[in-house]
Structure 1
Amino acid sequence: METSTSTYYIELNRWGITNNGSFSINNSKGINDALMWASQNGFTKVIFPHGTYVINETTPIEPASNMTIDLNGSTLKINENGLSNYSIICYKKNQKYSTINNGIIMGDKDQHNYSSGGSHEGGHGIEIGTINPPSNGGNNTKYVRLTNLEILNCTGDAIILNSTFGQISPPPSLIAKSWEQGSISPSNGSFIVTKEKIRSTLVIDLTQTEIVKYGYFGLYGNGFGNLGADIVCDFYDVIFYSKDNTFHSSKQKVQFFDEVEVPLGAAFARVVLHQTTIPDPNKCLINIRVATFPQQTFIERCNLHHCRRQGISLCGTKQSYIRENHIHHIGGTSPQSGIDIEDGYDLNQNIYIESNQFHNNSSYDILVVNGKSIHITKNQLTNTVKEGVSLSINGGADKIFVTENTFHKAKITLSGNSLFSNNFLYATQLHVLGKYQSRPILISDNLFHNSKLISNTDFPYIVTVDGCRFYNDIDKLNAFSEISWTLELKNQPQIISNCIFEGKDTLYNTYVLNSAKGGWLFSNTIFNNGTILVGKYINCIFQNDFSTLRIMGTNEDSIELINCTIKTSDRFNSLLSVNNIKSFTLKDCYIEKPNGTVLNVGSISESVTLVGNSIKISDDHLLRPLILLQSSYSGKSIIIENNTLDVSNLKQIGIENATSPSTFVVIRNNILNNASIKYNGTEIRNKNIIDGLIDKD
């Protein structure tokens, strides 16, 4: 039945198809024959009569190029089976411009026979590309669009995008041994003597079958995406030669896992790596491949649920767009993720995951094991089941952009190179585990509401937390006490800047493990409470009702407070008790306290510097020294100069030096109002002004 010149309404009797939910061994063949006939006769849209079509488990539906399949609300249901692998719909013939919409794709998860053993994780609703494409097919699909589909109950994934690496000659073992010092001119193909690059002595035959078929090749890693420990560069050059061995052309600064298009007339090629060192043959895993993979895939407004392994698996794809989908209740066999970007490694590029809803997935909502240039934007990720992780960016991932998402009762781990920006987190734990020194992580402009940030990274200064707001209210204490403190610092020092910590919470304190190293950098940050960790604080503000600022460090660490403001309403406790660190610096700071000791200096091993500070005691009723230098001080020097100390009521001891006479102490050019200086007699002192008069003691 033809409804227009471009639309074909499938004639069930003509093709021997049943749509009443009963199994017919002819269903799959009949549907495929109808699609092929429609394509050959110029139809660009095929409409299924409404019903339930049971699909043969060994014969998937194969869409044609340049065609829209409108399921018209129908269900394609796999026949109940015991196979470890199946697909209901499969793209395996390099299809282009193909759309499937408006229907239900149903697996047999609950009726499946698992008795043969194994995970049976290979049962897919829609398979785009296949790990074993037929000789007349391939995985280079383009512009496949899946919209308004419900896909459920598959023993594996609702949707999977597959790739093949297509290894060609020369083999990896020969490539690993072929490197020599030197380069090749990109302008004339001649060899160049240099220590800046290395070149392979092998040539790549461009007449190999796969290169001729697809017109490209590239340098890739091994089966696990690994280039080898001694491959330390990001780029290589390709020099093309004609059949008569004359220079043809070149391509410069090609990235691994990218495709090199072969120019017309080129017969063979040589490659040059942008690194100075020749790799150990055992630490070079470069493969020359003709990779095949889906491109320009669109998955939009689909409901993917109750599949055992994944909602969507991306196993080597470029330019994929996953938008406005609902992905939930995934679980049964690992990894159990809403979306998993894994196999194919850096073949996974330019992937856009936008405006999707995730919830009730067993292990992950989004898992990025490998890949680069992946954008995760405007999604809603709600608590996974039990100990699951809503978002995991693993160490092998590079250039991952996580922006404008909402995380609710979630867990996040960041190990790979990523930008985590403008997200809203509620009752969520973000764990930063940077795995590579060369791959930074930036966490910027996020709102952490009753949430927690943990920094536990092996390399210093690869993590920057900038412009974030950490806000807590009573719900955190009442309902989310497992999150406890807001900031947990471990391992190597990182950078925290332009942040604000606010809201009432008795569990607000920063928690520092003994494993935390010194050197943390804090700038332009407002703290309502907390612990001062060994490191440098610049232009920071400490405020609200806290009793003391707890100092954490070791004898090898230092603390610097520069141009900071500290205000507390505590009347009884010493504000800063400094012990068991290497050095302490307080410079150009403003400190306000109603009563009591501001700084109590104990066993510091090297030096104390107090310069240019303003200290105000606003409502004192007890006699306490403002700055006390204890006899336990064991450092080399103490410098106290150009400070101002103001006391409101009772005249206090502003500075008391109880250190050993052998300690080098300088007290000069300080101004004390309603306060005095108690010397031990060995100080270098001059021009200190006490109540408007130069101190002559």
Structure 2
Amino acid sequence: MKILKWSLLVSLHLSLLSSFSFTGNGVGVNRDASKMSSVEEAVEANTTGATTSVNNQERTYPFTLPTGANNSSTDQSLHLIDLTKWGIHNDGTKPVETTAGINKALQWASKNGITATTLPPGTYLIDKNSRINMVSNMLFQLTSNVTLQKETNTKESYHLMHIGVHVTNVTLRGGIYKGDKDTHDYSKREFAYTPGTHEGGYGIITQGAHSVTIEAVTATHFIGDGLVISGHGSLISDIYEAELVSGEYDTQGKAIANKDKVRTSKAIRFDHKAFKTNRDFEISNIKNLPTTFDIYIFDKSKKLISKLPGKKNRETIQIPEGADYFHLVFQKASSKGSYLEVWNRVVSKNVVVKNSEFAHNRRQGITVAGADTVLIENNEIHHIKGTMPQSGIDLEGGYGENGQLNSRIVIKGNNFHNNESYDVILYDGKNAIVEDNRLGSRGKIGLAISPPFTGALVRNNHFDGSRILAYHDATFLNNRMNDSYTTFEGPNVTIDGLTMTDSTLTINSKQPFGVTASNVTITSINKSLPAGLSLWGKPIKLSNITISGESSLRTVAGGIEPGSIIDNLKVTDFNSTYGISLPAATYNNCEISGAAGAKTGSIGVAAASGGPYVFNNCKFKASSTAFDTIVADQVKLDLTIKNSSFELSGNTRAINVVAAKKFVFENNSINATGITSDKLEIVKLNDFWKRNEQHDILSAIIKGNTISSNLKAIGISTIYAGNGAPAYVIENNTIVNATLALKPNDQNLNNTVK
């Protein structure tokens, strides 16, 4: 399965087109800011990371956690905005006047040293063609009986509250931010090139802002997202092939000939207004040129002040002091069909979103689309439905499509439920932590990690009826799941600590040992539901896997390629009708037993690849009703069972080899205590009904085993191996209260029958 970008980037682009930026039923809970608790975890930050205390257990972070706005700078009595003075209406009328009045009041407060403002109770209708533009150094605190209502409209994109580029130290606390989803006219396109999906209407948007706290708010019923945390981009220059000429620059910054290289012919200057506040740039969207290049930076006197070799597409370049312009040099003889762009980008930084509710929006609860250091904590995000992706939170900046980068995002302690498609998507970016959340949109995807995302840490979450889909570069620690299943593909996926109830751990590794899993417990309680372990793809490494209970089908199955290593697998009470079908692997120290009931359930070793299968130091315990403990039936089968034990409490065979290329059974012990027929073969090679057919067990070694029976049954049987069967090695076995039934040509050596 591949997670698609849907039309998210399109709507983000439309929403912020003018600035070249890239960002796309009632509410059950109203949160009063005055009643909100503080964050309970004590955070100790340093320059390399952070450590928190959670239930007396230390929790470490690989980066400094964001703190949001500096409350001390806005720690003053709330200023009640005078509605009459500013022409503001709180009865849901006069949207143009109300919006303009709120903006004027905020600007006046900012200029007059007021850093904490509020509005009286009521409904404030926000102009469909405008928005509230937040100012820096401001606490905007509302009670739960204040609603900011977006005027119904026909637009494909809009904002209600905007926190713009370089706006800093803002707290939005309390209040209801409400969209026009229920009354919106979805029939019109704003422009001929727009998609017509009407998914770009946002409640709150940060666009390159810094140090922002959003707490105890409710953002609901927007045609797009309740909240967007995004970046701001300024296109400085776009360069076509006509602006590239043959040559390069020497160490003194002089243009010289070089037929194997091309350079920019026109200086790219640092005179754009964006550089006044953000002193860096990047080269991106390169076409028909190498993605690695050299940069030559000059001052106003045309003196070369810096050469930066080997820079790469989308790499952030700091502008040195005194720089006036720069040139680029590419290792390519021709500039035909070439194109590139120079951008100045600002992501939102140090943003905290907590104790809030995002609900009943059409596209997302929260989109992160260009941000660094964000904490989204203790929010309720639910009933997102209407247009894809329909996710509670989506980290998607379109970085691979010339958009913004997401990095160092923490999603912690949130309650997700009733979202139509996803709870959390990590689509693109790097270094996110998803922890302590309840992902409860049952039957949906609780967490999706897409190929463009790297460095996800997922720990201590409850997947309550929701699925996991993870491609690569992710670590899962101490999570739990019920009534669902996973898909892990890899590479670089680690699972350590996973408790599953009525759920299936599915691994489909795309690279050898690209997925490792350890300390997994899978319990089947509801016999009508599937549960267990399903392995596919390339070899993997598993350890300490415990599976218990009788699910509706096999609790272990799959078609993984040979070569996996599975240590300490414990399976108890598997389905007595269907048994289990073990994938080809090396099993060390396994313990496997079936549930009583039907007779046909057994341990199947019959992978299409034939193996090899190796069982070492394993314990097999058959149910009292089973015909067979292990059934081996594959003409290419390579099966070795060594140093293992079998406990047979019924009239049950230890192993029934129907077909195999190679079978080794060595140094095992079999204790049969419930045999009722003296015709039962405890170790059986082939079947009576196939005795006259061509043999299909090509090699067998049965050596050094001890077989004990309560009844004088047949300990080892090879007499039905079929026409032309080769000599099998039957050597140094001890048979207690049982007999041998061997072919005449078998190597019957040093066996003891007691």
**The two structures share one fold, judged by TM-score above 0.5:** yes
Partner of 2:616: 562
Q: Pick closer, same or farther for the CA change 1:143–1:428 going to 2, 3 Å.
A: same
Amino acid at match of 2:319: V
Q: 1:64 is matched with which residue: 130, 135, 145?
A: 135
Partner of 1:364: 422
1:404-483 map, 5 Å: 404-432=460-488, 434=489, 439-473=491-525, 476-477=526-527, 481=528, 483=529
Q: Pick closer, same or farther for the CA change 1:572–1:417 going to 2, 3 Å.
A: closer
Give yes or no for the alignment of 1:94 onto 2:172. no
1:606-645 map, 5 Å: 607-623=662-678, 624-630=680-686, 633-634=695-696, 636-645=698-707
Q: Pick closer, same or farther for the CA change 1:357–1:557 going to 2, 3 Å.
A: same
Partner of 1:306: 360
Partner of 1:489: 535
Give yes or no for the alignment of 1:121 onto 2:199. yes
* Deviation (angstroms), 1:216: 1.5
1:374 is paired with a residue whose SS is: strand
Q: Pick closer, same or farther for the CA change 1:559–1:178 going to 2, 3 Å.
A: farther
Amino acid at match of 2:584: V
Amino acid at match of 1:158: G
* TM-score normalised by the chain length of structure 2: 0.76
Partner of 1:48: 119
Query: Do the aligned partners of 1:176 and 1:285 also contact (CA within 8 Å) in 2?
Result: no
Amino acid at match of 2:641: L
Partner of 1:133: none
Q: Pick closer, same or farther for the CA change 1:640–1:348 going to 2, 3 Å.
A: same
Partner of 1:652: 714
1:26 is paired with a residue whose SS is: helix
Query: Do the aligned partners of 1:586 and 1:610 also contact (CA within 8 Å) in 2?
Result: yes
Alpha-carbon distance in 2 for matches of 1:496, 1:576: 21
Q: 1:34 is matched with which residue: 90, 98, 105?
A: 105
* Deviation (angstroms), 1:264: 2.5
Partner of 1:295: 349
Write the deviation string for residues 383-435 of structure 1: whole angstroms up to 9, x where unpaired: 35xx6323222222211222111122223322243222212212122233x2x
Alpha-carbon distance in 1 for matches of 2:504, 2:198: 38
Q: Pick closer, same or farther for the CA change 1:431–1:206 going to 2, 3 Å.
A: same
What is the percent sequence identity of the aligned residues? 25
Partner of 1:584: 639
2:427 is paired with a residue whose SS is: strand
Give yes or no for the alignment of 1:217 onto 2:261. no
Query: Do the aligned partners of 1:636 and 1:664 also contact (CA within 8 Å) in 2?
Result: no
Alpha-carbon distance in 2 for matches of 1:237, 1:320: 32
* Deviation (angstroms), 1:158: 0.9
* Deviation (angstroms), 1:241: 5.7
Q: Pick closer, same or farther for the CA change 1:371–1:664 going to 2, 3 Å.
A: farther
Partner of 2:47: none
Query: Do the aligned partners of 1:238 and 1:272 also contact (CA within 8 Å) in 2?
Result: yes
* Deviation (angstroms), 1:633: 4.3
Gaps of 5+ in 2: 1-73, 190-195, 254-259, 575-579
* Deviation (angstroms), 1:618: 2.2
Give yes or no for the alignment of 1:501 onto 2:547. yes
Query: Do the aligned partners of 1:176 and 1:282 also contact (CA within 8 Å) in 2?
Result: no
1:663-678 map, 5 Å: 663-678=726-741
Q: 2:378 is matched with which residue: 324, 338, 359?
A: 324
* Deviation (angstroms), 1:465: 2.5
1:446 is paired with a residue whose SS is: strand
Write the deviation string for residues 552-587 of structure 1: whole angstroms up to 9, x where unpaired: 312543322121111113355122221213311111
Alpha-carbon distance in 2 for matches of 1:613, 1:269: 76
* Deviation (angstroms), 1:626: 2.0
* Deviation (angstroms), 1:25: 2.3
Query: Do the aligned partners of 1:238 and 1:269 also contact (CA within 8 Å) in 2?
Result: no
Query: Do the aligned partners of 2:620 and 2:629 also contact (CA within 8 Å) in 1?
Result: no
Q: Pick closer, same or farther for the CA change 1:450–1:651 going to 2, 3 Å.
A: closer
More deviation, 528-537/56-65: 528-537
2:102 is paired with a residue whose SS is: helix
* Deviation (angstroms), 1:490: 3.7
Partner of 1:85: 157
1:159-174 map, 5 Å: 159-168=227-236, 171=239
Partner of 1:683: 746
Alpha-carbon distance in 2 for matches of 1:685, 1:178: 84
1:650 is paired with a residue whose SS is: strand
Alpha-carbon distance in 1 for matches of 2:481, 2:374: 26
Partner of 2:318: 261
More deviation, 529-538/285-294: 285-294
Q: 1:381 is matched with which residue: 427, 436, 439?
A: 439
Alpha-carbon distance in 2 for matches of 1:127, 1:25: 20
Q: Pick closer, same or farther for the CA change 1:690–1:124 going to 2, 3 Å.
A: same
Query: Do the aligned partners of 1:91 and 1:127 also contact (CA within 8 Å) in 2?
Result: yes
* Deviation (angstroms), 1:246: 6.0
Query: Do the aligned partners of 1:123 and 1:155 also contact (CA within 8 Å) in 2?
Result: yes
* TM-score normalised by the chain length of structure 1: 0.81
1:149-228 map, 5 Å: 149-168=217-236, 171=239, 207=270, 209=272, 210-211=274-275, 213-218=277-282
* Deviation (angstroms), 1:664: 4.7
Alpha-carbon distance in 1 for matches of 2:485, 2:380: 23
1:649 is paired with a residue whose SS is: strand
Q: Pick closer, same or farther for the CA change 1:219–1:648 going to 2, 3 Å.
A: farther
1:334 is paired with a residue whose SS is: coil
Q: 1:604 is matched with which residue: 642, 652, 660?
A: 660
2:345 is paired with a residue whose SS is: coil
* Deviation (angstroms), 1:356: 0.9
Alpha-carbon distance in 1 for matches of 2:285, 2:592: 50
Partner of 2:413: 355
Q: Pick closer, same or farther for the CA change 1:114–1:584 going to 2, 3 Å.
A: same
Write the deviation string for residues 226-277 of structure 1: whole angstroms up to 9, x where unpaired: x99998xxxx89877665776758799x99756343333466789999xxx9
Alpha-carbon distance in 2 for matches of 1:48, 1:149: 14
Write the deviation string for residues 131-164 of structure 1: whole angstroms up to 9, x where unpaired: xxxxxxxxx2101111111111112111112334
Query: Do the aligned partners of 1:179 and 1:278 also contact (CA within 8 Å) in 2?
Result: no
Partner of 2:395: 341
Partner of 1:135: none
Alpha-carbon distance in 1 for matches of 2:347, 2:719: 74
Amino acid at match of 1:317: A
Amino acid at match of 1:113: D
Partner of 2:7: none
The Cα RMSD (Å) is 3.9
Write the deviation string for residues 188-208 of structure 1: whole angstroms up to 9, x where unpaired: 99xxxxxxxxx9965895736
Q: 1:144 is matched with which residue: 188, 207, 212?
A: 212
Amino acid at match of 1:123: G
Amino acid at match of 1:421: L
Q: Pick closer, same or farther for the CA change 1:26–1:165 going to 2, 3 Å.
A: closer
Partner of 2:570: 526
Alpha-carbon distance in 2 for matches of 1:579, 1:28: 76
Alpha-carbon distance in 1 for matches of 2:361, 2:571: 45
Q: Pick closer, same or farther for the CA change 1:105–1:200 going to 2, 3 Å.
A: farther
Amino acid at match of 1:536: T
Write the deviation string for residues 24-48 of structure 1: whole angstroms up to 9, x where unpaired: 4221111111111111111111122
Amino acid at match of 1:441: V
More deviation, 411-420/371-380: 411-420
Amino acid at match of 1:163: G
